[in-house]
Amino acid sequence: MAKNKKIEVKGTEITIFKAEMDDYISLTDIARYKDATNTDDIIKNWLRNRNTIELLGFWEQMYNPDFKPVEFDGFRKQAGLNSFVLTPKRWIETTNAIGMVSKSGRYGGTYAHKDIAFEFASWVSIEFKLYIIKEFQRLKESESDRLKLGWNFQRTLAKVNYHIHTDAIKEKLIPDAISKQQASFIYASEADVLNMALFGKTAKQWRNENPDLNGNIRDYAAIEQLVVLSNMESTNALLLHQGMEQSERLIQLNEMAITQMRSLLSHTTAIKKLK
């Protein structure tokens, strides 16, 4: 997980952390804008609302293949009753939700995916929500500028180091062919389908192998791998639209990754144009 970041909105500090799939914003900090001493109660009151339950459930159905819809329906039927009480922890554990996260420690509290967090902010204060969106967009623009600088740095580094690239080093960047067993395994996210095709491992496997590194597998990819990954994302979207099975897509994307990596690493004139 990347380092937490903060934005200041109308005198209130809002914490944001980058999870594997996207940015998560602190609901606890947003609730603090309304009442700093009763943040948990504010979040629980929001969760009692039927519209809130439907928002959370429909979001999970869109993005979470492991979500439990039966348990969601149970909460939806109870929502709005005077006796109904729901905590973030209960919602997460009962439905296997990923849109909300309950964290302990220094940056403890309740966090939610930005889609959900913005809706909570709207419930707290429409004006406050608009300011949060404004500051969040400013943060993302700043990150984008830094990424562009990073990309330019990687291009320069590629120029400087190109002359010492040996065939052995290049060969390590070319992915191995996917085995039948790997192809038959069902991967929960499309991101991991791409990771397997290009890197030969899932994001979780990479984190387990590199516990001391910040970021994710793609943060440490070579510039050539990032180029191929971008091409693979477009191709995968097309194959998904065509209804191709995941195992077949994985094999096709892996073949594409091998072919394109070999081409990029062997075609010296393309790299020399960076000089």
Lowest mean pLDDT among 48-52, 183-187, 190-194: 183-187
123-157 in b/e form (b: 16+ CB < 10 A) is bbeeebbebbeebbeebeeeeeeeeeeeeeeeeee
Q: What is the per-residue pLDDT for 164?
A: 38
212, two tokens: 């001391």
Q: Which residues pair with 12 in a beta bridge?
A: 9
**pTM of the shown model:** 0.53
pLDDT surpasses 70 at 24: yes
pLDDT surpasses 70 at 97: yes
Q: What's the CA gap between 1 and 252, in Å, rounded?
A: 30
Lowest mean pLDDT among 164-168, 216-220, 229-233: 164-168
Q: What is the mean pLDDT of the chain?
A: 83
142: Cβ contacts below 8 Å, ≥ 6 apart: none
Give the H/E segment covering residue 220: none
Domain ranges of the chain: 5-136, 165-272
Residue, of 173 and 156, whose pLDDT is higher = 173
N-terminal to C-terminal alpha carbon distance within the chain: 35
* DSSP secondary structure letters along 118-179: HHHHHHH-HHHHHHHHHHHHHHHHHHHHHHHHHHHHHHHHHHHHGGG--HHHHHHHSPPPPP
Q: What is the per-residue pLDDT for 61?
A: 92
Q: What is the per-residue pLDDT for 169?
A: 42
Nearest by Cα to 92 from 67, 109, 58, 123: 67
141, two tokens: 């623009």
pLDDT surpasses 50 at 166: no
Q: What is the per-residue pLDDT for 152?
A: 55
Q: What is the per-residue pLDDT for 41?
A: 94
Q: What is the per-residue pLDDT for 105?
A: 67
Q: What is the per-residue pLDDT for 28?
A: 95
Question: β-strands 5-9, 109-113: how paired?
Answer: unpaired
Read off the pLDDT of residues 105-146 as tens digits, 9 standing for 90 and up.
666 789 999 999 999 999 999 999 999 999 988 888 877 766
